[in-house]
Amino acid sequence: MTDSFSNAGAWAPWLVFAVLVGGMLAIDLGVAHRKAHTPTRREAVTWTVVWVALSLAFNAGIYVTQGTTAGLEWTTGYLIEKSLSVDNVFIFLLIFSSLSVPSQYQHRVLFWGILGALVMRGSLIFAGAALLERFHWVIYFFGGLLVVTGIRFLRDTQHTPSVRDSRVLQFAKRHLRTIDGFEGARFFVRKNGVTYATRLFLALVLVETTDLIFAVDSIPAIFAVTDDPFIVLTSNVFALLGLRAMYFVLGGYLGELKYLKPALAAVLIFVGMKMLAAEAVHIHPLVSLLVIVGILAVAIAASVRALRLEREEEAALLAPPD
């Protein structure tokens, strides 16, 4: 194990990262989304492009300042987290539809949900880096966890979780004073001297819990690429920061990508096996990147082809007989 954890403490890269992310979050919440509204598809696409462009610019800085290997590790980590985030988007759709969250308030829930996720993931990443530095065998635990999770993904491709039956939701309702409704964009409301949590806050609790569960899968996956906490954290954060815009862009299309979840399972199994075989086989970061890109590209192409064939069959069935 390298001493990358201590090397990552150099203040300059962390300062650039903190200023860039903090400034963009302030613009996002304080300017672009100061008033609750439903983002248009054009607005969501614009913000998606902005976040991807910033991510690529930051990645370019890694290539320049830390070298090609570190740059490839950042690219691979970012791609892994971005692809696994698609499952988060699917769960967000379930949460908002099950709780009937108005579309104009969804961005507020996602903003604060992802902000909380950044804090949780930062804690998990530094804890994971410390564990790997002190106990090398933890890498095999992470690898096994990823393989098991990937296999579970393959078995549960048709399973749709129930949000209203969630134990987290039931726990929150038992231990919080709640009202069964919304009070604008507020998470809490005070009535007759008593503070109540609104249904919007319950949606936030579910979003936070969901991200914590997915972090257990995605963070070890990035540690399969590098043990440098700076690369792990920054690639993870940049992937997460574009998740809100991606939700509004992809929300209506996820159901059409039928082979995406098996592809995510394959990615998890690949990186898990990479961790398990780390001592025996060294896989260059470029090879890892190409394998992951290839898996995702094949899945998307196959999904698009399957969708086209389904539509052609439907059109043939609806066509009048000769």
pLDDT in tens, 287-304: 777 887 888 888 888 888
CA distance 40 to 267: 32
Number of domains in the chain: 1
Q: Among residues 217, 235, 263, 260, which one has the least CA distance to residue 51?
A: 235
166 and 206 Cβ atoms separated by less than 8 Å: yes
User: Does 9 score more than 50 pLDDT?
Assistant: no
- DSSP letter at 187 equals S
Question: How many C-beta neighbours within 10 Å does residue 131 have?
Answer: 16
CA distance 23 to 102: 28
Most confidently predicted of 112-121, 134-143, 156-165, 229-238: 229-238
Give percent of the chain above pLDDT 70.
80
Domain holding 79, by residue range, is: 4-318
Residues whose CB is less than 8 angstroms from the CB of residue 178 and which lie 6 or more positions away in sequence, other chains included: 172, 196, 197, 198, 199, 201, 202
16 and 213 Cβ atoms separated by less than 8 Å: no
pLDDT band at 2 (very low <50, low <70, confident <90, very high): very low
Question: How many C-beta neighbours within 10 Å does residue 279 have?
Answer: 9
Q: What average pLDDT is seen over the chain?
A: 77
Helices 68-98 and 41-66: angle between axes, nearest 10 degrees: 160
Gap between the terminal Cα atoms of the chain:
71
Question: How many C-beta neighbours within 10 Å does residue 88 have?
Answer: 24
The pLDDT tens digits of the residues spanning 157-182 come to 555 555 565 677 778 778 888 887 78
pLDDT band at 4 (very low <50, low <70, confident <90, very high): very low
The pLDDT tens digits of the residues spanning 216-274 come to 767 777 787 788 888 888 988 888 887 777 777 766 565 566 787 788 788 778 877 87
Residues whose CB is less than 8 angstroms from the CB of residue 248 and which lie 6 or more positions away in sequence, other chains included: 39, 41, 43, 44, 107
Q: Are strands 194-197 and 188-191 parallel, antiparallel or unpaired?
A: antiparallel
Q: What is the pTM of this model?
A: 0.70
CA distance 38 to 110: 13
User: Does 3 score more than 80 pLDDT?
Assistant: no
CA distance 262 to 151: 9
State whether residue 149 is helix, strand or coil. helix
Q: What is the mean pLDDT of residues 309-322?
A: 69
Q: Which has the minimum average pLDDT: 7-11, 50-54, 279-283?
A: 7-11
Would residue 70 be called left, alpha or beta, if left means φ above 0 and alpha means ψ between -120 and 50 degrees?
Answer: alpha
pLDDT band at 37 (very low <50, low <70, confident <90, very high): low
Burial of residue 81 (CB within 10 Å: 0-12, 13-18, 19+) is buried
